[in-house]
Structure 1
Amino acid sequence: MIMTKQSSNPNSNQLDGNMSDAQAMSALKQHGPKIFWAIVVALASYFGWQYYQNNHAKIDTVAADSFADISERNDALVLGLNNPDLDEAAQNLLKKEQDNLFADIDKLVASHGKSAYAWQALIIKAHIASDTKDYKTAITALQQALNIDLKDDGLKAITSLRLAQVMLADGDKEGALAIVNEKMPPAFEASKQELLGDIYVAKDDVENAKKAYETAWNVLAERQEVRSLLSVKMQSLGMNPKPITQKPSVVAEAKPQITDGENKKADDTANNQTSDTSATQ
């Protein structure tokens, strides 16, 4: 991952060479949610697999087949939604397919509502709804996912973080803050603190935003993990994050790549099913 260039002038407006603060934050707002969802989808797949391994759950073939169909249709739908050149007729067909997909997700949840398949299907529904700025639908789906008791702190943390981000996008800053301030496993501390910083920025509470971003950066530094987007956020507030020496990446072919930089500790969380511990600073 590329780190932003550090300026010798603490008041410099330059990021990544020629990008201004305003341009950087505009790019962040445009692409940040997509990057977050890429992380969520990777983590969701990984934790879902770990959940079944750890609990030796009997595979429900009906639910598995239903989710496989939903996942395949979701991939095709996302490709269409990301195509800016579709005409009106094609867009209408996509909307119809989205409605049909949502209906099938609701059927899966109704018939297998306590399963990890239902949880993953609701994550997919929230993803699509959020991308199309239907935040109310996304929030409802994530709240449903949060109510599925899979007895896994990692899955719960993933859902809570995403719910808080969507609530923030919908303008509910206090609701988002309440969600993020709940107890989460230490593996998610960096993501939690970064999202806290985002919420404080939205509340125009610059000092608390700086503290949260700094805490997130320090956690990442301990892990030798880099998030260039967090660096951009910090620099936009006049901060000068210390460069992090990134540890060599190890490609684990048997597992999905988790670009959030928290895959190792998330693995520990899933395997050990640690109890909730307070991560509030």
Structure 2
Amino acid sequence: MATHLDLEEQEQLDQIKHFWNKWGTLITTVLVIVLGGFAAWNGYQYWQNRQGMQASALGSAVEAAVNSGDKARIDQAFGDLRSNYGGTLQAAHAGLLVAKAASDKGQMDDAKAALTWVADNASDDGLKATARIRLAAVLLGSQSYDEALKQLDAKMPTEFDAVVADHQGDIYLAKGDKAKAIEAYRTAYQKTAPGVEYRNVISVKLNALGEDVK
């Protein structure tokens, strides 16, 4: 009886050895890849969380500097944020904040520089579009009409279509091209949903140019 069991055990061992000889390397490789991928994912998650926390801290530093009105601190904090965490949402939001603060103080070159950076480097298409539209407004104020139109020609999410057309109308009107201004305002009006207050603003602009939106 013992001999019979020994033979069965030996046969099972032989089968296991045969199976391992045939598939062992592949199984080991798969395990290494899976476990390595799991470790890499955990490492990446940790790195992302760490990046996010550090970017948030610098973003708060930019906000504090803006609130204090200290230009040197603004430049330093925003510069560090761009250099080290330029691909984060915090960096893009900080850029928009810095641009607004500069614009409010009449520092249009600084506003233009911050908005240009966000438009070129933000990881979020919506923030890029916001920066381009605000940059177009700054360029309009400095009578750089062609540059302003160029910013608005860039590809943007469709939800910005009405705002883009409205700003194009403002630029064409400033250039003295009434026909193109009316065309742009009509596009903005059509792309704004009925009942939205913004539509009334565009309607006023069209009426001022002698156009009846109805």
Report if TM-score (shorter chain) is over 0.5: yes
TM-fit CA distance, 1:223: 4.8
In the other structure, the counterpart of 2:133 is 161
- d(CA) in 2 for partners of 1:205 and 1:188? 23
2:97 maps to amino acid: I
Among 61, 70, 94, the residue aligned to 1:69: 61
TM-fit CA distance, 1:67: 1.0
In the other structure, the counterpart of 1:147 is 120
Among 159, 162, 171, the residue aligned to 1:190: 162
1:231 maps to amino acid: S
C-alpha offsets along residues 129-172 of structure 1, whole Å, 9 cap, x if unaligned?
A: 1122222111111111122151x322221121111111111221
In the other structure, the counterpart of 1:122 is 95
- Say which one has the larger Rg: 2
In the other structure, the counterpart of 1:81 is none
TM-fit CA distance, 1:241: 3.3
1:234 maps to amino acid: L
In the other structure, the counterpart of 1:180 is 152
- d(CA) in 1 for partners of 2:54 and 2:155? 35
Mapped contact 2:65–2:71 kept (Cα < 8 A): no
1:123 maps to amino acid: L
- d(CA) in 2 for partners of 1:230 and 1:102? 37
Mapped contact 1:135–1:169 kept (Cα < 8 A): no
In the other structure, the counterpart of 1:225 is 196
In the other structure, the counterpart of 2:206 is 234
CA-atom RMSD in angstroms = 2.0
- d(CA) in 2 for partners of 1:160 and 1:114? 17
CA shift in 2, pair 1:235/1:102, >3 Å: farther
Identity within the alignment, %: 29
In the other structure, the counterpart of 2:111 is 138
C-alpha offsets along residues 86-129 of structure 1, whole Å, 9 cap, x if unaligned?
A: xxxxxxxx4xx233223321222122122111111111111111
Mapped contact 1:139–1:163 kept (Cα < 8 A): yes
Unaligned runs of 5+ in 2: 1-47
Unaligned runs of 5+ in 1: 1-56, 78-93, 243-281
Is 1:206 paired with 2:185? no
TM-fit CA distance, 1:210: 0.6
In the other structure, the counterpart of 2:188 is 216
C-alpha offsets along residues 38-67 of structure 1, whole Å, 9 cap, x if unaligned?
A: xxxxxxxxxxxxxxxxxxx63521211221
The TM-score with structure 2 as length reference comes to 0.69
Structure having the higher helix fraction is 2
In the other structure, the counterpart of 2:52 is 60
> Structure 1 residue runs of 4+, over 6 Å off?
none
In the other structure, the counterpart of 2:142 is 170
1:100 maps to amino acid: R
- d(CA) in 2 for partners of 1:233 and 1:136? 29
- d(CA) in 1 for partners of 2:84 and 2:155? 30
The TM-score with structure 1 as length reference comes to 0.54
